[in-house]
Protein backbone atom coordinates (compact mmCIF):
# COMPACT_ATOMS: atom_id res chain seq x y z
CA UNK A 1 0.00 0.00 0.00
CA UNK A 2 2.87 2.33 0.83
CA UNK A 3 4.56 1.58 -2.50
CA UNK A 4 1.31 2.29 -4.32
CA UNK A 5 0.87 5.69 -2.65
CA UNK A 6 4.51 6.75 -3.02
CA UNK A 7 4.38 5.81 -6.71
CA UNK A 8 1.26 7.94 -7.11
CA UNK A 9 2.97 10.91 -5.47
CA UNK A 10 6.15 10.55 -7.50
CA UNK A 11 4.19 10.29 -10.73
CA UNK A 12 2.21 13.42 -9.79
CA UNK A 13 5.51 15.29 -9.57
CA UNK A 14 6.38 14.07 -13.09
CA UNK A 15 9.99 14.39 -12.08
CA UNK A 16 10.96 10.88 -11.19
CA UNK A 17 11.76 7.69 -13.00
CA UNK A 18 12.22 5.88 -9.68
CA UNK A 19 10.21 2.71 -9.29
CA UNK A 20 8.91 1.47 -5.96
CA UNK A 21 7.58 -2.03 -5.46
CA UNK A 22 6.86 -4.28 -2.52
CA UNK A 23 7.91 -7.90 -2.47
CA UNK A 24 7.52 -10.86 -0.16
CA UNK A 25 10.46 -13.26 -0.07
CA UNK A 26 8.32 -15.98 1.48
CA UNK A 27 8.83 -17.76 4.78
CA UNK A 28 12.54 -18.51 5.09
CA UNK A 29 14.43 -20.71 7.51
CA UNK A 30 16.96 -18.18 8.78
CA UNK A 31 18.56 -17.44 12.13
CA UNK A 32 15.66 -15.13 12.82
CA UNK A 33 13.37 -18.17 12.82
CA UNK A 34 15.82 -20.63 14.39
CA UNK A 35 16.66 -18.56 17.44
CA UNK A 36 13.32 -17.06 18.40
CA UNK A 37 11.76 -18.09 21.72
CA UNK A 38 8.94 -19.81 19.82
CA UNK A 39 11.47 -22.06 18.11
CA UNK A 40 12.53 -23.46 21.48
CA UNK A 41 9.09 -24.66 22.56
CA UNK A 42 8.82 -28.48 22.74
CA UNK A 43 6.16 -28.63 20.04
CA UNK A 44 8.31 -26.57 17.70
CA UNK A 45 11.31 -28.80 18.35
CA UNK A 46 9.22 -31.78 17.23
CA UNK A 47 8.02 -29.91 14.13
CA UNK A 48 11.47 -28.53 13.20
CA UNK A 49 12.36 -31.44 10.85
CA UNK A 50 9.29 -30.59 8.78
CA UNK A 51 10.29 -26.94 8.48
CA UNK A 52 12.48 -27.85 5.51
CA UNK A 53 9.36 -28.85 3.57
CA UNK A 54 7.53 -25.62 4.38
CA UNK A 55 10.17 -22.91 4.71
CA UNK A 56 12.47 -21.63 1.99
CA UNK A 57 16.22 -21.49 2.22
CA UNK A 58 17.65 -17.96 2.40
CA UNK A 59 18.89 -18.41 -1.18
CA UNK A 60 15.39 -19.32 -2.39
CA UNK A 61 13.90 -16.45 -0.39
CA UNK A 62 16.22 -13.99 -2.12
CA UNK A 63 14.86 -14.84 -5.57
CA UNK A 64 11.80 -12.55 -5.52
CA UNK A 65 13.67 -9.44 -4.27
CA UNK A 66 16.38 -10.11 -6.87
CA UNK A 67 13.76 -10.56 -9.57
CA UNK A 68 12.10 -7.25 -8.70
CA UNK A 69 15.43 -5.42 -8.59
CA UNK A 70 17.04 -6.91 -11.70
CA UNK A 71 14.47 -8.29 -14.13
CA UNK A 72 13.85 -6.46 -17.39
CA UNK A 73 10.23 -7.64 -17.11
CA UNK A 74 9.80 -5.39 -14.08
CA UNK A 75 11.56 -2.37 -15.57
CA UNK A 76 9.23 0.62 -15.37
CA UNK A 77 6.70 -1.21 -13.16
CA UNK A 78 6.00 0.70 -9.96
CA UNK A 79 3.60 0.57 -7.03
CA UNK A 80 3.02 -3.17 -7.32
CA UNK A 81 3.33 -6.22 -5.07
CA UNK A 82 5.45 -9.25 -5.99
CA UNK A 83 5.60 -12.75 -4.55
CA UNK A 84 7.11 -15.96 -5.95
CA UNK A 85 8.85 -13.95 -8.72
CA UNK A 86 5.53 -12.73 -10.09
CA UNK A 87 3.37 -9.65 -9.81
CA UNK A 88 0.37 -10.39 -7.60
CA UNK A 89 -2.99 -8.69 -7.47
CA UNK A 90 -3.53 -6.62 -4.34
CA UNK A 91 -6.39 -7.64 -2.10
CA UNK A 92 -9.74 -6.10 -2.89
CA UNK A 93 -10.09 -3.37 -0.28
CA UNK A 94 -12.89 -0.84 -0.16
CA UNK A 95 -11.56 2.72 -0.62
CA UNK A 96 -8.11 1.35 -1.59
CA UNK A 97 -6.67 4.71 -2.65
CA UNK A 98 -7.92 6.42 0.50
CA UNK A 99 -6.50 3.70 2.75
CA UNK A 100 -3.15 3.84 0.92
CA UNK A 101 -3.04 7.59 1.46
CA UNK A 102 -3.93 7.20 5.15
CA UNK A 103 -1.19 4.59 5.67
CA UNK A 104 1.34 6.80 3.90
CA UNK A 105 0.40 9.85 5.99
CA UNK A 106 0.50 7.80 9.20
CA UNK A 107 3.95 6.43 8.29
CA UNK A 108 5.28 9.89 7.54
CA UNK A 109 3.91 11.33 10.79
CA UNK A 110 5.16 8.39 12.88
CA UNK A 111 8.65 8.71 11.42
CA UNK A 112 8.72 12.50 11.64
CA UNK A 113 9.25 12.84 7.90
CA UNK A 114 7.45 14.88 5.28
CA UNK A 115 7.27 14.79 1.50
CA UNK A 116 9.61 17.78 1.38
CA UNK A 117 12.06 15.87 3.58
CA UNK A 118 12.10 13.03 1.08
CA UNK A 119 12.35 15.44 -1.86
CA UNK A 120 9.96 13.67 -4.17
CA UNK A 121 11.94 14.87 -7.16
CA UNK A 122 14.18 11.82 -6.84
CA UNK A 123 14.54 11.50 -10.59
CA UNK A 124 15.62 15.10 -11.12
CA UNK A 125 19.21 16.26 -11.24
CA UNK A 126 20.66 15.62 -7.82
CA UNK A 127 23.31 17.88 -6.37
pTM, rounded to two decimals: 0.75
- For residues 120 and 108, the answer to whether their CB atoms sit within 8 Å is no
pLDDT of res. 88: 94
Please check whether residue 68 is in contact with residue 74, taking contact to mean a CB–CB distance below 8 angstroms. yes
Asked if 20 contacts 120 with a C-beta cutoff of 8 angstroms, the reply is no
| 94 within 8 A of 102, measured Cβ to Cβ | no
Domain boundaries, the chain: 13-90, 91-126
Q: What does DSSP assign to residue 1?
A: -
88-115 pLDDT per residue, tens: 987 778 898 899 999 999 999 999 888 7
Ramachandran angles phi, psi of 5, nearest 5°: -70, -40
Amino acid sequence: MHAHELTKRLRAEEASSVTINACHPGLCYTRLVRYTPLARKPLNVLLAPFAWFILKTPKDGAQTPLYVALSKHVSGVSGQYFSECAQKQSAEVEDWDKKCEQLYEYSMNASGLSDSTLDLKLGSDAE
